[in-house]
Structure 1
Amino acid sequence: MALKKNRAFLKWAGGKYSLIEAITAKLPKANKLIEPFVGAGSVFLNTQYPKYLLNDINPDLINLYKILQKRSDQYITDSASLFVPANNDEARYYALREKFNQSNDVYERAVIFLYLNRFGYNGLCRYNQKGIFNVPFGRYKAPYFPHKEILFFAEKSQQATFTCQSFEQVFTRARKGAVIYCDPPYAPISETAKFNSYSSGGFSISSQSLLAQLAEKTAFERKIPVLISNHDTQFTREIYQEAQLTELQVNRFISQNGGTRNKVGELLALYHLE
C-alpha cells in the first residue's frame, strides 16, 4: 500500500509533489537531509530523515517557516482571518499586497504572504529588482485555507533548522552522514524562457554551473551525496556529465489553461560514491 503523500501548504511553481516517488527513490539514506532551495517543502514533507537543514534565499519564506515552528496556533488564527469572501476582491488584494510591500514587521509579512500565495495568480512568488512582490490578483472562486497542511508542516518542522543563505554557504555546513537535495530555479528550456525572478536576485547560468561543480566536489571529495533536479537540456547534460542521470517527463503547471500544460523533460542528477 502506497504511503499517503503530504501536500505543501503553499502553492508553488515547480513544486515537487508530483515527483516525490522519483526523487525519494534516488535519495540515499542519511542522518540529515539538506535542502539549499527548499521552496514549499514537498520533499521535506514526504521523507523520513531524523534531521533537516532547510534553506531558501527568500527571507519571507524562511521567516514564515520559523514562525510556524514556534507559534503555529497564533499564525493559523491570524492568517485564516484573511480568508474571507470580502478579501477575494481585486482592490482588496492590491491593498493587502501594498501593505505587505510596505511592512517591515516579520510576523505581519508572514500572515499576508500566505494570503498573497493563495489569492494571487497561479501561486507565483515573484519580486521585482527592488524586492517588491508584484504577482497580480488570481481571480479564484474560493481560495482554500490549508489548515491541516499548515499543522502537519508545523509539527514536522520541529526536526528542522531553517536558514536564509546562499546555496554556497549551505554546502559548507554539510557534514559526512548528510545528503543534499537541490531544486534550484531551473535552467531555461530555451533562450526566450528565462523564468528566474523567483527571488529578487534571479539565478544565472553561471550559478547553475557553480552548483554542479559544488555538487561534484561535495560528493566525490567530501563523500556527501548530492541530488539535483533540473530541466533536461543540452546545457544541463553538459554541466551534470559526472552525475548519474535519470530522465523524467513532467507536466508543467505554470499556465492556467490546462490545454497548454505540456510535458517537459527533466533530469535527476545524482552525485554519489557508491
Structure 2
Amino acid sequence: MSVLKPTSYQRPFLKWAGGKFRLLPRILKVLPEGNKLIEPFAGSGALFLNADYDRYLLADINPDLIDVFNHLKKGKTSFIDYCAQYFTDQYNNQKTFYELREHFNQLKPGKERAALFVYFNRHGYNGLCRYNRSGGFNVPFGRYKKPYFPAREMELFAEKAKRAEFRCQSFSKTMAHTRKGNVIYCDPPYLPWSLTANFTSYSQQEFSLDNQRELALEAKKLAKRDVPVVISNHDTDFARLIYAKAKDLQSFPVRRFISCDGAGRNNAQELIVVYRK
C-alpha cells in the first residue's frame, strides 16, 4: 500500500463530525499492507478515498449513509445531477429546509431520500447527522449563504467505489467475516472524557462502554489470526485500560472546534492503537 502525499489527499463529499481527514498522515503511516481495507465505521470515507488497496468494504449502522454510497456507486453522474437540483437558492431557506426534513422522515429508502441526505449534509447545521429516539432526522437549518455542492468529490468517490462494497451492518458482524490479508481500521464513536459527566449523552449514541470493550477484544482476537486492526479514539484512562494488549499506542494532540469563537477551541489527546501479530 502506498501512502499519498498531503497535497494529494482527496476530501470526502460529506461533511462529518469526527471525520479523519486531518489525521490521514498519521493513520496512513501505521496502516499495514494488505489486499483489502475494511472499515466497520464508515463515516465520510476519508480514509477509503486516500488509502491504496485492491478492494474495500465500508460498513456502518446508519442506513441513510450506506444508501447514499450505494446510490452514488450505481448511479454515478445521473445521481450527482439528481442531487444538484437541491443546491439552488430555491431550497436554501429555513421554511423549505424544514418542509423537506419532514418529507424526508416519511420517505422510504430510495433515490430521493439519498439525495436529500446529501442536501441536509450541506444545508444543515455544521454538517451534523443526528436522529431523535423515534428515528427522525432532526438537524436544524444551517443558514449558509451558498452551500457548496460537492460534484467533483462525488465523482471521485464514485470512481473509487468501483472497488468497494458498502453494507449496513454492525461492527461485530463486519469484523467476523475477515481473513488473512485484510486490514481493519476502526473509527468508533469516541469515548467521553469523563465517564461520570458524559455517560448520559454518550449512551444516546448507542455505543456503550461494553461495546468499546468488545471492539478491543475483537481486535486482539483478529490480530492473533494475523488480521491487523487499527483503532482511533480519545486518549483516556479507560482507553488505556481496554487497549493495554495492543502492540502500539500513539498519543498526540488534535485541535478541537467546540465553539464558534476562538476561545472555545483547544487541544485534545488523540490515540491511535495498532493490533498486530
Length-normalised TM-score, structure 1:
0.95
Q: Which residue is 1:71 aligned to?
A: 75
**Which residue of 1 is the match for residue 165 of structure 2?**
161
Is the 1:229–1:266 Cα contact (8 Å) retained in structure 2?
Answer: yes
Structure 2 residue matching 1:217: 3-state secondary structure: helix
1:91-135 CA-partner distances (Å, limit 9, x unpaired): 111111111111014211100000101000110111111111111
Distance 1:99 1:254 in 2: 31
Alignment of 1:198-237 (within 5 A): 202-220=206-224, 222-237=225-240
Q: List alignment gaps of at least 5 residues for structure 2.
A: none
Deviation, structure 1 residue 155: 0.3
**2:54 is aligned with 1:50:** yes
Contact 2:189–2:205 under 8 Å retained in 1: no
1:251 aligns to 2:255 (yes or no):
yes
| AA in 2 matched with 1:147 | A
Name the residue aligned to 1:87.
91
Cα distance in 1 for residues equivalent to 2:261 and 2:145: 16
Task: Select the residue among 114, 127, 146 that pairs with 1:110.
Answer: 114
CA contact (8 A) 1:10 1:117 kept: yes
In structure 2, distance between residues paired with 1:95 and 1:122:
19
Alpha-carbon shift at residue 261 of structure 1 (Å) = 2.2
Cα 1:270–1:109 change in 2 (3 A) is same
User: Which shifted more, 256-265 or 223-232?
Assistant: 256-265
What CA distance in whole angstroms lies between the structure 1 residues aligned with 2:202 and 2:121?
Answer: 18
* One-letter identity of the residue aligned with 1:246: Q
**In 1, are the aligned partners of 2:257 and 2:264 still within 8 Å (CA)?**
no
CA shift for structure 1 position 249: 1.1
Counterpart code for 1:138? G
**1:192 matched to 2:176:** no
Residue identity over aligned pairs, in percent, reads: 51
So what's the TM-score if we normalise by structure 2? Answer: 0.94
In 1, the alpha carbon distance for the partners of 2:186 and 2:214 equals: 13
What amino acid does structure 2 have at the position aligned with 1:98? Answer: E
Unaligned runs of 5+ in 1: none
| Distance in 1, Cα, partners of 2:72 & 2:59 | 15
Tell me which of 134, 137, 140 is aligned to 1:130: 134
SS of 1:118's equivalent in the other structure is helix
Residue 60 (structure 1) aligned with residue 64 (structure 2) = yes
Label 1:105 to 1:180 Cα distance change in 2 as closer, same or farther (>3 A): closer
CA contact (8 A) 1:33 1:51 kept: yes
Name the CA shift for 1:88/1:165 in 2 (closer, same or farther; >3 Å): same
**How far apart in 2 are the matches of 1:157 and 1:217?**
29
Superposed displacement of residue 255, structure 1: 3.6
Q: What is the deviation of 1:142?
A: 1.1
Indicate if the aligned counterparts of 2:258 and 2:264 stay in contact, CA closer than 8 A. Answer: no
- The match for 1:30 is 34
1:202 positional shift: 1.8
Q: For residue 241 of structure 1, what is the aligned residue in structure 2? A: 244
Task: Decide whether the 8 Å contact of 2:67 with 2:109 is kept in 1.
Answer: no
| Residue range with higher mean Cα deviation, 233-242 or 258-267 | 258-267
Whole-angstrom CA distance in 2 between matches of 1:207 and 1:256 = 32
